[in-house]
Amino acid sequence: DSGVTQTPKHLITATGQRVTLRCSPRSGDLSVYWYQQSLDQGLQFLIQYYNGEERAKGNILERFSAQQFPDLHSELNLSSLELGDSALYFCASSKREILDTQYFGPGTRLTVL
């Protein structure tokens, strides 16, 4: 158990819908990261927050957005869902902003029908 929690574990929804994925970092960690893992693309970095501020962005779609709240938990919002958005979404956390080990949560499996 890494100490990072994610909810829900599974999410099944329809195209065009909007969902919210939630992540609680390890105690004391200030940095939160979101990654997407699909069969053909592997693990892809989406976005990083550090102490509530956005710090880095990967190839995150405009339909996707995220935020980190004052209690340091984070939410990833996915809207206008498409079939291709079906994937595992992982959250990771670390204490420092850079040069630090990232610990991953168990993931949320999103299925878009």
By CB under 8 A, residue 73 contacts another protein: no
Out of 58, 69, 80, 111, the residue judged to bind another protein by CB under 8 A: 58
Contact between 104 and 91 under an 8 Å Cβ cutoff? The reply is: yes
Out of 21, 25, 48, 85, the residue judged to bind another protein by CB under 8 A: 48
By CB under 8 A, residue 8 contacts another protein: no
Find all residues with CB under 8 Å of 62, minimum gap 6, and list them: none
By CB under 8 A, residue 24 contacts another protein: no
Nearest residue to 67 (alpha-carbon basis) of 85, 52, 88, 46: 52
Out of 8, 15, 43, 113, the residue judged to bind another protein by CB under 8 A: 43
Tell me how far the alpha carbon of residue 69 is from its chain's centroid: 14
